[in-house]
């Protein structure tokens, strides 16, 4: 269990306010009291309970928040929270950033969320690192803290996925070896039967787990991974299209060009020409 933190820090954030994520405040207390926001708040919030019990109210509903529970609240969203016991120990972080709404929406964080019964070890570790950076580096600490704040958002997203998928630890044991195997072998012909054998479960069950976790079929995931590699090679090398096709696991260059055009809206050679031109322009501007 983490110790109580009786500190609230609102760092000067001019350096980071144009970044995708900008830390605006961080803190904690052993004696969290009543707090209300009526819809005028300008920052997003993650709060988690370290000890004790409290209540969160929003959208005409009330949720008990106890040890291990985490909630996310969008900015300008009316809500209130208060303790059920004299000592309610919480930690919190507030943030905004350039285009933060789109970033959060991509992670399914476009409305209030409560995750029950988590192990907030990851959040506590990031919290401690952020506090340390703010206290020890008054010049550039805020830059590191914006990255740490983004890591907190990703940690929350990970916990939300785990909460939405009961038995996720078992599923991870099945899926992680499969995904690692794809990463090591996507450049060659990769029959699904190899992945099924590696997983130790049926083809149908593996496919269902994969779709739940990755949001797409195994076949689609492999194809997108190959296309990602192809885009890298088109930009960073001068290899001919036929060679890149082979290097990325596409045996037929014609099929590769068709799949690439369908995905990117242009042929591989056109992608190479445009991307290299944009890269040259960027390097000229930053030189």
- The answer to the question of residue 188 being in a domain is yes
* 27 within 8 A of 134, measured Cβ to Cβ: no
- The answer to the question of residue 1 being in a domain is no
pLDDT at position 152, please?
Answer: 97
Q: How far is CA 226 from CA 157, 208, 255, 263, in A?
A: 26, 22, 13, 12
Task: CATH number of the domain at 67, please.
Answer: 2.60.120.280
pLDDT at position 170, please?
Answer: 61
- The answer to the question of residue 66 being in a domain is yes
pLDDT digits (tens, 9 = 90+) for 139-167: 889 999 999 999 999 999 888 877 655 55
Q: What is the mean pLDDT of residues 186-203?
A: 93
Q: Taking 60 as the threshold, does the pLDDT of residue 118 lie above it? A: yes
Are 185 and 249 contained in the same domain?
yes
Are 89 and 153 contained in the same domain?
yes
SS3 245: helix
Q: What is the DSSP letter of 201?
A: S
- The answer to the question of residue 228 being in a domain is yes
pLDDT digits (tens, 9 = 90+) for 44-81: 999 999 999 999 999 999 999 999 999 999 999 999 99
SS3 content of the chain, % helix, strand, coil (to 5): 50, 20, 30
- The answer to the question of residue 153 being in a domain is yes
Domain that holds residue 20: 7-164
pLDDT digits (tens, 9 = 90+) for 253-267: 999 999 999 999 999
d(CA 39, CA 60): 14
Are 108 and 65 contained in the same domain?
yes
Residues 6+ apart with CB under 8 A from 283: none
Are 153 and 197 contained in the same domain?
no
pLDDT at position 40, please?
Answer: 80
Q: What is the mean pLDDT of residues 215-239?
A: 93
Structure tokens at 160: 């939300």
Side-chain half-sphere of 242: how many Cα atoms within 13 Å?
0
Are 111 and 251 contained in the same domain?
no
- The answer to the question of residue 21 being in a domain is yes
Q: Which is more confidently placed, 169 or 8?
A: 8
Are 155 and 75 contained in the same domain?
yes
Task: CATH number of the domain at 276, please.
Answer: 1.10.10.60
Q: Which is more confidently placed, 176 or 131?
A: 131
Are 13 and 144 contained in the same domain?
yes
Cα 143 from chain centroid (whole Å): 19
**Three-point CA angle 162, 167, 172, nearest 5°:** 70
Q: What is the DSSP letter of 19?
A: S
Domain end residue (candidates: 129, 164, 199)? 164
d(CA 128, CA 111): 27
Are 31 and 158 contained in the same domain?
yes
d(CA 46, CA 78): 15
d(CA 139, CA 111): 34
- The answer to the question of residue 122 being in a domain is yes
Are 17 and 119 contained in the same domain?
yes
Are 207 and 105 contained in the same domain?
no
Averaged pLDDT score across all residues of the chain: 90
pLDDT at position 165, please?
Answer: 53
Are 18 and 150 contained in the same domain?
yes
Domain end residue (candidates: 164, 198, 213)? 164
pLDDT digits (tens, 9 = 90+) for 12-54: 988 898 999 999 999 999 999 999 998 887 899 999 999 999 9
Are 188 and 235 contained in the same domain?
yes
Domain end residue (candidates: 114, 143, 164)? 164
Domain count, the chain: 2
Q: What is the mean pLDDT of residues 208-231?
A: 91
- The answer to the question of residue 203 being in a domain is yes
Q: Taking 60 as the threshold, does the pLDDT of residue 242 lie above it? A: yes
């Amino acid at each position: 269990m983490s110790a109580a933190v009786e500190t609230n820090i609102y760092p000067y954030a001019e350096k980071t306010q144009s970044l995708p994520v900008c830390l605006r405040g961080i803190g904690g207390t052993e004696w969290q009291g009543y707090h209300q926001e009526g819809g005028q708040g300008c920052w997003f919030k993650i709060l988690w309970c370290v000890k004790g019990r409290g209540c969160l109210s929003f959208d005409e509903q009330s949720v008990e928040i106890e040890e291990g529970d985490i909630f996310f609240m969008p900015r300008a969203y009316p809500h209130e929270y208060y303790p059920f016991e004299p000592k309610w120990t919480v930690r919190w972080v507030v943030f905004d950033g350039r285009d933060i709404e789109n970033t959060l929406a991509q992670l399914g964080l476009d409305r209030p969320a409560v995750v029950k019964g988590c192990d907030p070890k990851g959040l506590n570790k990031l919290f401690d690192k952020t506090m340390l950076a703010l206290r020890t580096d008054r010049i550039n600490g805020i830059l590191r803290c914006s990255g740490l704040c983004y890591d907190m958002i990703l940690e929350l997203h990970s916990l939300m996925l785990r909460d939405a998928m009961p038995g996720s630890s078992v599923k991870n044991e099945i899926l992680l070896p499969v995904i690692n195997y794809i990463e090591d072998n996507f450049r060659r012909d990769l029959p699904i039967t190899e992945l099924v054998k590696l997983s130790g479960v049926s083809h149908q069950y593996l496919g269902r787990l994969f779709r739940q976790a990755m949001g797409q079929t195994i076949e689609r995931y492999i194809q997108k991974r190959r296309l990602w590699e192809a885009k890298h090679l088109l930009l960073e090398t001068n290899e001919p299209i036929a060679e890149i096709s082979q290097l990325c696991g596409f045996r037929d260059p014609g099929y590769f060009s068709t799949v690439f055009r369908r995905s990117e809206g242009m042929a591989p050679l056109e992608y190479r020409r445009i991307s290299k031109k944009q890269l040259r322009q960027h390097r000229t501007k930053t030189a």
